[in-house]
Amino acid sequence: MDKVQLFTYFAEKYRHFLYKLYNIPTKGIMSPGTPCYVEDPEIDITHGDVIHPCVRYIEEGFEGHKWWMVYTPLYAGKDSLENPRLCYADAEEENAPTEWTFYCMIKDKPEFGYNSDPTILFKDDNLYIFWRECKTPKTKELGCSHAVMGCYVKNKKVIYLEKPIMTEKDPTDDKEVCPTLFASDEKHIAYAMHLCTPMPKFIQHLPGKIGSFIYRHHLLAIAEGFGLYDSAKSRGIAIWESNSIEEPFYYSKTVQFGNVKKIYQPWHMDLFAESASSLGNKLYAIVQSSIKFADICLAWSDDCEHFCFFKKPLLTSQNIKMSGLYKPTGLVVNGIFYLYYTARDSEDRHLNKLFVTSMKWNELLNIITK
């Protein structure tokens, strides 16, 4: 057992202790997922790595396919690989696709900085893709730290939108993490995680050599793994609004999650409505509970604004017998809830693999609300 494995082992044991202390179930209500194959023309570079998946089902189909996914690779944490690519899949009714065919590259590697957090929106027969650019030449030109850029695709051609739909100047107070967009005739709304990542105050006042020692020996990462420190503080869900899907969205407010366990710091999420991509009476958020040693949880909202966590997680590391659960995505199709998630490969800890699990939606709601 190497140092990383030893750290992971003791950190997970400590987390289990915290789960008992705060009465959090160590097992989720869903079964482990089936591995997915995702075609990638750069597999010799990416090793088939998948993170930040966003899966959408288009009832009427788009270019002959109903299932679409955008994601980014991040093998060995190399953010230079984190460039969104679009895939499609086909499946029999009541089955989730496990084989995804490459459609096109959405955005290539920037000269500096990186791309992340892609999402899909189908509107007016157009398949829109949005993603975040982080400290890239484009954000430098715009005078901001992060920007959500967009495009739509047609016959494998990518048509980029001229203007960003969201921008963020403050690199330590980020209100546009992993956005999800909804559009209707009345309004256009984007939901994003609002994260605060300031330099810890106690480090700011330490002598340079001591601060350097803390970072060089990953002491903060160790403290974070044991739940003693959080590098990112979750402020809740940031809500943005616009009059058009191709025009800038304006920040409206941030609303805190309700019923969040003390050891959780919600990190990434995806949202869905029971009625395809339109806003209805109830909206759901699938949430990665923490940046590390995460659970996958479900939250609900009756007013499309205030979200409350259900008490039981959907998935935990103990469920799947794997670590490294990361940003999930999900949807309800024909009464079945499909959950796609990524987890660290047991043989290659640098590799994130995609899995899918499913459950009848009414059955899931009956179990998770008890």
**Predicted local confidence at residue 152, as pLDDT:** 98
**Predicted local confidence at residue 278, as pLDDT:** 55
Residues pairing with 35 in the sheet: 355
**Which residues contact residue 364 at a Cβ distance below 8 angstroms, ignoring those fewer than 6 apart?**
29, 30, 337
**Predicted local confidence at residue 227, as pLDDT:** 58
Helix (H, G, I), strand (E, B) or coil at 117: strand
Residues pairing with 100 in the sheet: 38
**Which residues contact residue 202 at a Cβ distance below 8 angstroms, ignoring those fewer than 6 apart?**
none
Q: Does residue 203 register a pLDDT over 80?
A: no
Top-ranked range on mean pLDDT: pick from 82-96, 116-130, 269-283: 116-130
> In which band, very low, low, confident or very high, does the pLDDT at 217 lie, cut at 50, 70 and 90?
very low
**Predicted local confidence at residue 333, as pLDDT:** 93
**Predicted local confidence at residue 220, as pLDDT:** 55
Q: Does residue 238 register a pLDDT over 50?
A: yes
**Predicted local confidence at residue 1, as pLDDT:** 59
**How many angstroms separate the CA atoms of 130 and 150, rounded?**
4
DSSP output for 212-233:
HHHHHTTHHHHHHHTTS--SSE
**Predicted local confidence at residue 223, as pLDDT:** 59
Q: Give me the phi and psi of 312, to 5 degrees please.
A: -100, 135
* Lowest-confidence pick of 187-191, 253-257, 273-277: 273-277
**Domain ranges across the chain:** 3-197+232-368
Percent of the chain with pLDDT over 90: 69
As a whole number, the mean pLDDT across the chain is 88
- What number is the average pLDDT over the span 195-207? 60
C-alpha of 5 from chain center? 25
**Predicted local confidence at residue 136, as pLDDT:** 96
Helix (H) or strand (E) run with residue 136 in it? none
Closest CA to 274 of 298, 246, 245: 298
Query: Model confidence over 104-160: pLDDT tens digits?
Result: 999 999 999 999 999 999 999 999 999 999 999 999 999 999 999 999 999 999 999
**How many angstroms separate the CA atoms of 127 and 6, rounded?**
45
Q: Does residue 242 register a pLDDT over 80?
A: yes
CATH of 3-197+232-368, one of 3.40.50.1700, 2.115.10.20, 1.10.260.40, 2.60.40.1180: 2.115.10.20
Instruction: Output the pTM of the full model.
Output: 0.90
Q: Please, are residues 335 and 50 in contact by the beta-carbon 8 Å criterion?
A: no
> In which band, very low, low, confident or very high, does the pLDDT at 210 lie, cut at 50, 70 and 90?
low
Query: Model confidence over 284-327: pLDDT tens digits?
Result: 999 999 988 899 999 999 999 999 999 999 999 888 989 899 99
